[in-house]
Structure formats: C-alpha cells, structure tokens
Amino acid sequence: MERVAARAAANGELTFDLGQRTVRDLNQFLHHDLPDSGVRHVEVLHPGGRHAIAAGVNHPVDIDVRGHGGYYLAGMNKFATVTVHGNVGWGVAENMMSGVVRVKGFASESAGASGHGGTLIIEGDASLRCGISMKGIDIVVGGSIGNYSAFMAQAGHLLVCGDAGHALGDSLYEAVIYVRGRIRSLGADARIEEMTDVDHAKVRELLDRAGFAGEPEEFKRVASARQLYHWNADANQEY
C-alpha cells in the first residue's frame, strides 16, 4: 500500500478499487498512511454497498465514493470531505466530528446519529431516526425524513426541504429543526415556534452550504418546549 501511495503522491490522487481490495485495506491507508502520503484526493471505485467505507478518517482529504455504500459510511469522520455518488445504508456519518459528508442519493436509518460537528448533506430522502441524538452536527436534507427524526437531539441543526414523519423532535433538547414541508406529528416536548431573523439567516446559510434552492420564509422552526428538563412529580408520567 505504501508503494501505491508513493506513486500517487506526485499528483495527489489515489484510486482505490474495492473490487480488487478490501475495505480494511482502504481504511488502513486512510488511518495510518494518508498523512505522509501526499494524497489529497481518493477515488473509491466499485463500493458495492460494503459497510464502514472511509470510517474513522482523521485527516483533511477529499474522498469520492463512486457508487452505493452500506452501513456506517464515513462514521466518526474528522476533517475529510466525503461525497457518495449513490445511496447509503444505516448510520452514515454516525458520530461525525467535523468535515463534510454529502450523499447524492438517499440515506437509510439513523443518518448523522450522535454527530458532534461538521455537515451532513443528503440530496434525496432520509429514512427513520435521522439526526437521532445529534450533538452539534448540521444535517441538511434535500428531500423528506422518516419518523422519530431528531429524537433526543441535543445540539446542532436539522434542515429538511421536504416533509417530516411522525414524532419529529421527540424529547428534543437544544437542537433546532427547520422544515419546509408537512410535519406529520411532533414528539414529546417539541413545538413549532416563530421564526426570527437569526433563524432566517441560519436557514439561508444552511441552504447555501448544501447548494439547495429555497427561501428561509418557507420554513418552520421546531424547538424544545423545555418541559422535560426537570422531573415533575405531579405530571403522572404524562407530558
């Protein structure tokens, strides 16, 4: 692998064919050999829905995955810019720290789960539990999202250009959700609030960051009513 990287360093490009090598080989290079290789751009060919592609990257690099990815693609990403030219399975960008992950297709369940930072952009739809337990990540979805999205979301922003499923923002903390389309139902302690100038500016910035069309005035703000912060013995388990 070191010899391949050395040859690639002249132009900063490396092509990695998962039809010929394993995901373990790819991630071994990205984790250990990348920083001293001179490689600035990695093309991943024939991903074939394999799991954990480009997981745990901890170095600035552009990665293009030319096809569909499986579970936990770009999980724990830090510094890298990862673009998937296809769809992804569960947990894309799970526990992401920084950088950018863009999915040009659709995402399955738990996209961006527990993300601490960076930006996850999904150009199509995302399935159930998008942004569950997000802790500072910004997630921008060009399509719609499924049920129970942003459950226990603690910090960050989830912007949805389409519709949102049932129980949106259930047990929401300090994260803020923006939805342009229909909201089927809100979860416990989530409520629709009036958009402010700060919200309009944030929506504009998120749309521009993702390269999506739209106007901030088209979006609704969903945030926490802050009734679950403290135990209420008189609530009889009803909130």
pLDDT value at position 8? 56
CA distance 71 to 54: 11
CA distances for 97 relative to 78, 126, 136, 148, angstroms: 5, 20, 9, 23
pLDDT value at position 104? 98
pLDDT value at position 33? 95
pLDDT value at position 2? 47
Low-confidence ranges of the chain (pLDDT < 50): 1-3, 5-6
pLDDT value at position 229? 72
Q: For residues 2-39, b (16+ Cβ closer than 10 Å) or e, as one string? A: eebbeebeeeeebebebeebebeebbebbeebbeebeb
pLDDT value at position 237? 58
- Domain locations in the chain as residue ranges: 140-239
- The pTM of this model reads 0.93
Cβ distance 33 to 1 under 8 Å? yes
pLDDT tens, 18-51? 999 999 999 999 999 999 999 999 999 999 999 9
Residue 203 has φ and ψ, to the nearest 5°, of: -60, -45
